Amino acid sequence: MALRIAILGTRGIPNHYGGFEQFAEHLSAGLTERGHSVTVYNSHLHPFKKDSWNAVKIIHCFDPEKMLGTAGQFVYDLNCILDARKRNYDIILQLGYTSSSVWGSFLPKQAVSITNMDGLEWKRSKYSKPVKRFLKFAEGLAVKKSDYLIADSPEIKKYLSNKYDLPILYIPYGAEQYNNEDEKILADYCLTKRNFSLLMARMEPENNIEAVLDGMHLGNSEKKFLVIGDISNRFGKYIVHKYKNDSRILFTGSIFHSQKIHTLRTFSHLYFHGHSVGGTNPSLLEAMSSKALIAAHDNPFNKSVLQNDALYFSDANDVRRIIETTKRAEQEKKVDNNLSKITDQFNWQKIISQYEELMLTVAMR
* DSSP code of residue 49: -
CATH, residue 101: 3.40.50.2000
The count of structural domains within the chain is 2
Q: What strand order describes the sheet that includes 224-228?
A: 249-253, 224-228, 196-200, 271-273, 294-297, 311-313
Are 339 and 351 found together in one domain? no
Cα distances from 198 to residues 58, 227, 276, 296, in angstroms, run 36, 6, 17, 12
β-strands 56-61, 52-53: how paired?
A: antiparallel
- Interaxial angle between packed helices 316-325 and 209-218, expressed in degrees from 0 to 180 and rounded to the nearest 10: 50
- Residue 178 has what pLDDT? 86
Are 58 and 129 found together in one domain? yes
Per-residue pLDDT of the chain (365 residues; tens, 9 = 90+): 899 999 999 999 998 877 889 999 999 999 999 999 999 999 999 999 999 999 999 999 999 999 998 889 999 999 999 999 999 999 999 999 888 888 989 999 999 999 998 767 666 767 778 878 888 888 898 999 999 999 998 989 999 999 999 999 999 999 988 889 999 999 999 999 999 999 999 898 889 999 999 999 999 999 999 999 999 999 999 999 999 999 999 999 999 888 999 999 999 999 999 998 777 788 999 999 999 999 999 999 999 999 999 999 999 999 999 999 999 999 999 999 999 999 999 999 999 999 999 999 999 87
Cis check: omega of the bond before 300, within 30 degrees of 0: no
CB-side neighbour CA atoms (13 Å) of 54: 15
Report the residue count for the chain: 365
Are 235 and 148 found together in one domain? no
Are 265 and 146 found together in one domain? no
Are 192 and 340 found together in one domain? yes
Are 196 and 170 found together in one domain? no
Q: In 3D, which of 81, 87, 268, 247 has the Cα closest to residue 192?
A: 268
Are 170 and 221 found together in one domain? no
Are 251 and 305 found together in one domain? yes
Are 163 and 240 found together in one domain? no
- Residue 165 has what pLDDT? 92
Q: In 3D, which of 120, 172, 131, 168 has the Cα closest to residue 146?
A: 168
Q: Which residues contact 307 (CB under 8 A, 6 or more apart)?
A: none
Amino acid sitting at position 200:
M
CB 233 within 8 A of CB 203: yes
Strand partners, 95: 116
| Residue 116 region by backbone torsions, left for phi larger than 0, else alpha for psi between -120 and 50, else beta | beta
The domain in which residue 216 lies consists of 183-344
Are 18 and 99 found together in one domain? yes
Amino acid sitting at position 293:
L
Cα distances from 349 to residues 51, 235, 305, 344, in angstroms, run 25, 37, 18, 11
Separation of alpha carbons 98 and 122, rounded Å: 10
Strand partners, 294: 271
Are 19 and 164 found together in one domain? yes
Task: Kindly tell me the burial class for residue 250, based on how many C-beta atoms sit within 10 Å of its own C-beta (0-12, 13-18, 19 or more).
Answer: middle
Are 196 and 147 found together in one domain? no
Question: CA torsion 346→350→356→362, rounded to 10°?
Answer: -70
Q: End-to-end distance of the chain based on CA atoms, in angstroms?
A: 13
